[in-house]
Structure 1
Amino acid sequence: MLDNIFTRKLAVLYARVGRDAQFTPAGGDAQPVRVLLDEPGSTGLDGMQARAEPTIRMQSADAPNGVHRGDRFTVAGKTWAAREAGVPVLDGTELQVELKAVQT
């Protein structure tokens, strides 16, 4: 039941606390998305664990084909690449993606 409440309010959460980003799948076109970016040293939205590497959470609906290694995100002028494929979170309505900075 709690998962259902969270899922229904997910769009509101991302609209309020998410950041504007561009998601560019390998070989695809950039598309605007809202993401939660946790940079090294932060504890993330849940406050449960400190991050050693940058991580993005995004709504799965914004990446219907998933996020794959090498896909890129640009947030506030900084570009990141997915280290591995995005991992579903909770009921699968979100993806968590481990990132690495891209030198431009």
Structure 2
Amino acid sequence: MAETEAEIKARKERERDELYALDISGVEWHCAPGTEEHEERVEIAYLPGGAVAMRSSLDHDTVLRYTEAEWRAFVLGARDGEFDLEPAPGEGGAAAKE
């Protein structure tokens, strides 16, 4: 039997609440290789159940958490170019032509 919209919403809220209730004080943070310690970079930590936490290297207090499904959707979207940035005006590319 398929979940109703209300059941899906309730499940997602429950998953989010459980994810943010996790104590992540001892997790190991990872960042892209080749970045300097003083440079701002994205750091991620792997959490139980395939979930992921993400923060800025310059702001350790703000941590976003994603379920395994959310993280998978983000990574696949990034690989497909969904989040590619348009060049700013004056830098060439499609945005400069508008």
Common fold: TM-score over 0.5: no
User: TM-score, normalised to structure 2's length?
Assistant: 0.28
Higher Rg:
2
Between Structure 1 and Structure 2, the one with more helix by share is: 2
What TM-score results when the alignment is normalised by the length of structure 1?
0.28
